[in-house]
Amino acid sequence: MRIVVDAMGSDAFPRPDVEGAVQAARLYGVEITLVGDEKVVRPALAACDPGSLPIAVMHAPEMLTMHDKGLSLALKAKRREPKTSMALGIDLVKKREAVAFVTAGNTGAAATTAYFRLGTLPGVERPALCPVFPTHTGTCLVLDVGANPDCKPEHLLQFAIMGHVYAEKVRGVRGPRIGLLSNGEEPGKGNLLIRETYPLLAASGLNFIGNVEGKELFAGAADVVVTDGFSGNILLKGAEAVGALILDIVREKIQAASPFVKIGGLLVRPTLRSLRRMLDPSEEGAAPLLGVDGLVFIGHGRSDALAMQNAVRVAKLAAEAGVLESVRAEIGGRLARAPAAALGS
């Protein structure tokens, strides 16, 4: 089982990317291909003392950065002769020489490259990025959070089916509860997209629990929450920002306070640190890009070696669980049973 890791992805590449991949090879018994500029990847690999671990290096003369977007990105992504680390890595998945591709690079660049090189699974019009949110009782998958700012109801139905499969196969949730992100719980609440999506989900045969708001999501009322990529992104970034704000202010207030409070701050520091970890995306490693014809995981630019190691672990889990085949089967089966209106036809 070979997993391709983009060595040029994270903000601090190649070190976290390479270190995490080496750790994953050591711990999880996977074969790794590091793809990137040989001149920087080989020394970073050597520094990790990989011994006889099954780690190959594939040279990529170019890399995609935060500056790649729009048409020029699309053209690079579609190029017949791949040159970027993302395109070369994803092509290994396409040729079935590897089971998954993992990157901590530019999300848009990775999604675009994956979309053009792998295509989508039959019945899926748009791939969706599906991160794990922490909740009071565990975790919740939210999709899409950014790949598709403008969605149609049938896209959200496809997201729901893909989220259902991923929750069952990888997160181990039986009959996952599917919620629809809205501005009110009652049916009929929401913008036009949500109001049109609601009946599709209600008729889908999935365990649809109706509209959910932030309160229910973070309380753990749903296992999967479906949303368009714009709203999902607003939710994700808002939640990250509030979490960081609160923990920063707690720290600042404690530092500026009386000696007694400062001592209290020292005593609760491990608690606050564990909370920061809980809110930290690196615990879950990376989010799957569901709906493309191959397993692709996209992590935060801030990913460290542990995050990359976790990303490889989750990618392995998804491959072993046959996520791709299950999404293919469920999308085919459930859409075939859905009313024609659900297909937007």
What one-letter code names the amino acid at 159?
Answer: F
Residue 27: CB minimum distance to a second copy, A: 28
DSSP letter for 343, please. Answer: G
Phi, psi for 103 (deg, rounded to 5): -145, 150
Alpha helices in 152-191 (DSSP H): 153-169
Question: In this complex, which beta carbon is closest to a second copy, that of residue 28 or of residue 230?
Answer: 230
HSE-up (13 A, CA, CB side) for residue 123: 22
Q: Binding residue for a second copy (CB under 8 A) from 135, 317, 328, 343?
A: 135
35 counts as binding a second copy under rule CB under 8 A:
no
253 counts as binding a second copy under rule CB under 8 A:
yes
56 counts as binding a second copy under rule CB under 8 A:
no
267 counts as binding a second copy under rule CB under 8 A:
yes
- Whether 209 and 178 have beta carbons less than 8 Å apart is answered as yes
For 43-97, give the DSSP string. Answer: HHHHHT--TT--EEEEE-SB---TT--HHHHHHHHH-SS--BHHHHHHHHHHTTS
260 counts as binding a second copy under rule CB under 8 A:
yes
Count Cβ neighbours within 10 Å for each residue of 204-242 and write b for 16 or more, e otherwise.
Answer: bebbbbbbbbeebbbebbbbbbbbbbbbbbebbeebeee
Note if the bond before 144 is cis, omega within 30 degrees: yes
Question: Pick from 274, 293, 315: which is nearest to 170 by CA?
Answer: 315
Q: What is the CA radius of gyration of the chain?
A: 21
Q: Binding residue for a second copy (CB under 8 A) from 50, 187, 199, 243?
A: 243
Binding segment toward a second copy, per CB under 8 A, in 121-129, 153-161, 261-269, 287-295: 261-269
51 counts as binding a second copy under rule CB under 8 A:
no
Residue 342: CB minimum distance to a second copy, A: 22
- Contact letters for a second copy, residues 70-89 (x by CB under 8 A): x-------------------
Interface with a second copy in residues 141-160 (CB under 8 A): 146, 149-150
175 counts as binding a second copy under rule CB under 8 A:
no
218 counts as binding a second copy under rule CB under 8 A:
yes
239 counts as binding a second copy under rule CB under 8 A:
yes
Residue 34: CB minimum distance to a second copy, A: 29
Binding segment toward a second copy, per CB under 8 A, in 2-10, 19-27, 202-210, 249-257: 249-257
Question: In this complex, which beta carbon is closest to a second copy, that of residue 47 or of residue 278?
Answer: 278
- Whether 172 and 209 have beta carbons less than 8 Å apart is answered as no
Phi, psi for 174 (deg, rounded to 5): -85, 130
For 194-256, give the DSSP string. Answer: HHHHHHHHHTSSS-EEEEE-HHHHHHT--SEEE--HHHHHHHHHHHHHHHHHHHHHHHHHHHT
Question: In this complex, which beta carbon is closest to a second copy, that of residue 80 or of residue 136?
Answer: 136
138 counts as binding a second copy under rule CB under 8 A:
no
Q: Binding residue for a second copy (CB under 8 A) from 27, 47, 75, 237?
A: 237
Q: Which residues bind a second copy (CB under 8 A)?
A: 69-70, 135-136, 146, 149-150, 181, 183, 186, 188, 190-192, 194, 213-215, 217-219, 227-231, 233-235, 237-250, 253-254, 257, 260-261, 263-272, 274-275, 278-279
